[in-house]
Structure 1
Amino acid sequence: MYFQHSPRLWSEHPGLVAGVLSASGIDASPAPDLSPYFATAKERLGSSSESDLPEIQAWRRAFASMGLKPTQYRCASEALLRRFRKESTLPRLHPLVDLCNAISLAFAVPVAALDLSKITGDLEVRHATGDESYLTFGGDIEHPAPDEVIFADGAGRSHARRWTNRQSGLSVVRDTTTDVLIVAEGLHDTAAEDVPRLIETVAKELAAHWGTSPEPAILSHASPRFTVHS
């Protein structure tokens, strides 16, 4: 299978930097030490609100350009930072998800972790046609509106809504998950330096903690496709 962003999305958001990796051999072993990532996030939030961070401001502009109210629909990293600022911690979900959330906090960049076994065919970040289905975490089926940016697979299922706003309950990482796709996307001015560092950080943690050999890549308008090798 392959993962990519549509040509239209690259055209509408030329500043996009997307990092992606696939990995096998994931299990529910306890997560590595997350405290350094929490400390970085706490330091960044110490002198400002999450909405002041350039990474978050860039996503707010993108959401506004898509007709979404940025304070109603937040990118995943802003939602995590907001919760962390209020509670000084995050709920524990799955070791890999906890790791990705902690790294997302530190970089203020949205990070998605998807169970590859739940994805049918290829996965593309594109505008919805209105025919796709989306499974909520509560078990309800929704249908993204036409032109909404989604993660769509070959079966017409949406694995994320409003781009980086919310993932699907279908491909969430669970204790039974072994093969994953991890995607990080930035739109801010220094994304070309930050996103590769983020993906490298994730890859190193996966190799050290789960003994995997991740396959990382940085996508661009000229080279938009990442092939997941079985």
Structure 2
Amino acid sequence: MEVALDETLLAEVPNAKFGIIHYENITIGHSPQMLKGRLQLFQESLFFELENKNISEIPEIKEWRSVFKRLGKDPNRYRHSAEALYRRVKKQKYMPSINSATDINNFFSLKYRIPLGIYDKDLIKGNVMIRKGRIEESYLGLNGRENSVENLPVAADDAGPFGSPFVDSMRTAVTPAAKNAVQIVYLPLSIEKEEAEKLVESLASMFTHINGGNSRFSILSN
């Protein structure tokens, strides 16, 4: 299974960059105490940092808000997942530990202020294209609702969209049954390629340190 970037999406957002990480032979379960502790402590310290900050003006969050706006989606109605996490933290509604894959996603999303998605590779049908959501496309999301992904950046396979920086679908959700996965890192628009590679490599290293298996990654961009 390969992941490609649609040229029409790049035409509208020419500086968009995506980190793609493939994982094989992983074991997902309860997070180790080290990860649970880091996630909790990071949220607690972030709460005090955000006390007098306008979340929508944080540079990385602002950049992905601008992507939504450029593609025709109102970023005030459809907040990308990193912004949604930050708003939860500001209200002291901290994310609990879920599993060893989701917790790493949430930790890195908070640390780098960007959306991330992770998907069970064995539930993906064919190859993946990162493109713009089409008219009337939607899916049942992890939030338990049917979500319109029209005019959002989406990851789509032969069966249609299954992921976006807004909310991911139930169809390809990673659970403890997953043995292979693919992770999409919605990188800051302003990041340089060398820095992007270091960020993605760091994420892949932490993921396999906790979940085992092996990884390979690439950066998709213009």
Distance (whole Å) between structure 1 residues aligned to residue 89 and residue 209 of structure 2: 26
Q: CA 1:39–1:177 in 2, change beyond 3 Å: closer, same or farther?
A: same
Number of the residue aligned with 1:77? 82
Could you tell which deviates more after superposition, 6-15 or 130-139? 130-139
The residue correspondences of 1:60-71 to structure 2 (distance < 5 A) are 60-71=65-76
Please state how far the C-alpha of 1:153 moved relative to its aligned partner: 0.5
AA matched with 2:184: V
Partner-residue secondary structure (3-state), 2:175: coil
Structure 2 segments unaligned to the other structure (5+ residues): none
Amino acid at match of 2:17: V
- What is the TM-score with the length of structure 1 in the denominator? 0.82
Task: Tell me the CA shift for residue 93 of structure 1.
Answer: 2.2
Instruction: Give SS of 1:59's match.
Output: helix
Contact 2:104 2:207 in 1 (8 A): no
Q: Could you say which residue in structure 1 is the equivalent of 2:3?
A: 3
With the length of structure 2 as denominator, give the TM-score of the two structures.
0.85
Whether 1:154 and 2:158 are equivalent positions in the alignment is: yes
User: What is the deviation of 1:195?
Assistant: 3.3
Matched, 1:209 2:213: no
Which residue is equivalent to 1:108? 113
Deviation at 1:130, TM superposition (A): 3.8
CA contact (8 A) 1:25 1:178 kept: yes
Segment of structure 1 superposing worse, 39-48 or 181-190: 39-48
Percent identity of equivalent pairs: 25
Partners in 2 of 1:31 and 1:140 — Cα distance?
Answer: 27
CA distance in 1, matches of 2:107, 2:197: 16
Whichever residue aligns with residue 15 of structure 2, its letter is G
Q: Where in structure 1 are there 5+ consecutive unaligned residues?
A: 222-230
- Deviates further, 32-41 or 14-23: 32-41
Code of the aligned partner of 1:5: L
Distance 1:11 1:90, change over 3 A: same
| 2:23 corresponds to 1:39 | no
Q: Cα 1:128–1:89, aligned 2, differ >3 Å: closer, same or farther?
A: closer
126-135 vs 76-85, which moves further: 126-135
Q: Which residue of 1 aligns with 2:28?
A: 28
Q: Distance in 2 between matches of 1:105 and 1:159?
A: 22
> 2 CA distance for matches of 1:140 and 1:91?
20
- Shift in alpha-carbon separation, 1:52–1:132, aligned structure 2, 3 A: closer
Report how many residues are paired: 217
1:180 aligns with 2:151: no
Contact 1:19 1:216 in 2 (8 A): yes
What are the residue-to-residue correspondences of 1:185-200 with 2, within 5 Å? 185-190=186-191, 192=193, 194-200=195-201
Q: Structure 1 52/141 Cα, relative in aligned 2: closer, same or farther at 3 Å?
A: closer
After superposition, what is the alpha-carbon deviation per residue over 1:36-81, rounded to whole angstroms, capped at 9, x for unaligned? Answer: 4653871753662332211001111111112222121111111111
Matches within 5 A, 1:121-160: 121-130=126-135, 134-137=139-142, 144-145=149-150, 147-155=151-159, 157-160=160-163
Counterpart of 1:226 in structure 2 is none
After superposition, the Cα gap between the structure-2 partners of 1:86 and 1:97, relative to the gap in structure 1 and judged at 3 Å, is same
